[in-house]
């Protein structure tokens, strides 16, 4: 009798990453990521507020460290072994191969576990995933960045990029709003951004306290204080969903074309690879087609913001 077993022997599934050295923004992420994460050591923890901390991670394996290349605006899946995975946007300079900075708010299961972590703890990352801000396309233009609250975290990456390529861009302005003065993150870097990166930084808080001497009000109030060259400006907007509506419609009224406004959407991804559908907005995946969308696409997506 013939052998009726049909086993396919040694189906070796090699999913080691193949790397496109120059990822193309227009294409989807070229880097193939295994389900095996890159092991990272938490080298430093900077407490920012009671709810937010900045974590500095260093990939342990030098080979993997070299493979991990990202572009401003992309996110990674942070794994705290035993607790789970959460999507976190990368908020360090993309030219910095040594460290990855993640600004994390204590919000859920995984981030709470991360908050308990001490220096030297080992976590794992997968990524980078998603689309990025078109930094090359902005060359020769003014750049307007609008951040609200924790929206500063993904905006720091393009900010560092601009600092490294300052002569590419003309006038760079950054608006940053928060609820309270104590919630303004990275205030120790404000002077550096202003002086070294030559960024025109304007801050505003919604509920000022006695020590606050700056502006107060909604972030849209800042638009009255300067003029925008609407034909030569790219805008990057990051913040809570409510802010997108106000800021983007305001910028739209000012005359910035919708395809030059970029927003970074927030969803709870579970796989990061366009499979689990948890991050679906309308008919697009936030993890593959996003998280950076131009405002035109977001306008056409239902239930996006």
* Of residues 130 and 158, the one with the C-beta less far from another protein: 130
Please report, for residues 145, 149, 165, 245, 294, the alpha-carbon distance to residue 263 in angstroms, rounded to integers and kept in the order given: 10, 14, 21, 11, 6
Q: 183-217 burial, b if ≥16 CB within 10 A, otherwise e?
A: bbbbeeeeeebeeebebebbbbbbeeeeeeeeeee
CA angle 247, 277, 279 (to 5 degrees): 20
CB of 79 to another protein, least distance (A): 8
CB of 152 to another protein, least distance (A): 16
Which of 148, 266, 295, 298 is in the footprint of another protein by CB under 8 A? 266
Based on the shown chain and the rule CB under 8 A, indicate whether residue 58 belongs to the binding site for another protein: no
Mark the segment that binds another protein (CB under 8 A) among 91-99, 176-184, 198-206, 281-289: 281-289
How many CB atoms are closer than 10 A to CB 231? 11
Mark the segment that binds another protein (CB under 8 A) among 102-110, 172-180, 196-204, 252-260: 102-110
Half-sphere exposure of 201 (CA within 13 A, CB side): 23
Based on the shown chain and the rule CB under 8 A, indicate whether residue 211 belongs to the binding site for another protein: no
CB of 209 to another protein, least distance (A): 23
Give the three-state DSSP class for 7: coil
Which of 128, 134, 148, 274 is in the footprint of another protein by CB under 8 A? 274
* Of residues 113 and 201, the one with the C-beta less far from another protein: 113
CB of 251 within 8 A of CB of 235?
yes
Rounded to whole angstroms, the Cα distance separating 245 from 27 reads 27
Mark the segment that binds another protein (CB under 8 A) among 118-126, 161-169, 214-222, 227-235: 118-126
Size of the site for another protein (CB under 8 A): 57
Q: What is the dihedral of CA 242, 130, 46, 104, to 10 degrees?
A: 50
Which of 25, 43, 45, 84 is in the footprint of another protein by CB under 8 A? 84
CB of 297 to another protein, least distance (A): 12
Based on the shown chain and the rule CB under 8 A, indicate whether residue 212 belongs to the binding site for another protein: no
| Cβ-based burial of 165 (10 A; exposed 0-12, middle 13-18, buried ≥19) | middle
Pairing of strands 200-205, 215-216: parallel
Mark the segment that binds another protein (CB under 8 A) among 117-125, 139-147, 226-234, 290-298: 117-125
Rounded to whole angstroms, the Cα distance separating 237 from 230 reads 15
Based on the shown chain and the rule CB under 8 A, indicate whether residue 273 belongs to the binding site for another protein: yes
Residues in contact with another protein by the rule CB under 8 A: 1-8, 11, 13, 15, 28-30, 32-37, 39, 79, 81-86, 105, 107-108, 111, 120-122, 124, 241, 266-268, 270-271, 273-278, 280-281, 283-285, 288-289, 302-303
């Amino acid at each position: 009798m013939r052998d009726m077993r049909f086993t396919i022997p040694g189906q070796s599934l090699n999913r080691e990453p193949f790397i496109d050295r120059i990822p193309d923004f227009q294409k989807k992420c070229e880097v193939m990521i295994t389900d095996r994460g890159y092991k990272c050591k938490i080298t430093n923890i900077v407490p920012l507020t009671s709810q937010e901390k900045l974590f500095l991670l260093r990939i342990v394996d030098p080979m993997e460290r070299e493979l991990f290349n990202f572009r401003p605006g992309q996110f990674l899946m942070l794994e705290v072994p035993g607790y789970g995975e959460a999507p976190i946007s990368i908020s360090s300079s993309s030219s910095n191969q040594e460290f990855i900075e993640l600004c994390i708010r204590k919000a859920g299961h995984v981030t709470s576990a991360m908050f308990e972590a001490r220096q030297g703890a080992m976590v794992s990352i997968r990524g980078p995933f998603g689309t990025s801000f078109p930094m090359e396309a902005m060359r020769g233009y003014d750049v307007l960045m609008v951040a609200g609250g924790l929206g500063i975290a993904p905006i720091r990456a393009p900010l560092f990029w601009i600092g490294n390529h300052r002569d590419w861009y003309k006038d760079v302005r950054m608006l940053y709003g928060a609820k309270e003065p104590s919630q303004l993150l990275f205030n120790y870097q404000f002077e550096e951004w202003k002086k070294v990166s030559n960024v025109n930084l304007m801050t505003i808080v919604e509920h000022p306290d006695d020590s606050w001497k700056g502006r107060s009000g909604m972030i849209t109030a800042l638009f009255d204080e300067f003029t925008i060259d609407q034909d030569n400006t790219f805008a990057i907007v990051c913040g809570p969903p409510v802010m997108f509506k106000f800021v983007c419609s305001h910028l739209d009224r000012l005359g910035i074309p919708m395809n030059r406004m970029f927003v970074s959407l927030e969803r709870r991804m579970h796989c990061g690879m366009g499979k689990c559908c948890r991050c679906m907005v309308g008919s697009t995946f936030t993890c593959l087609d996003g998280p950076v969308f131009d405002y035109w696409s977001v306008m056409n997506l239902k239930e996006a913001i």
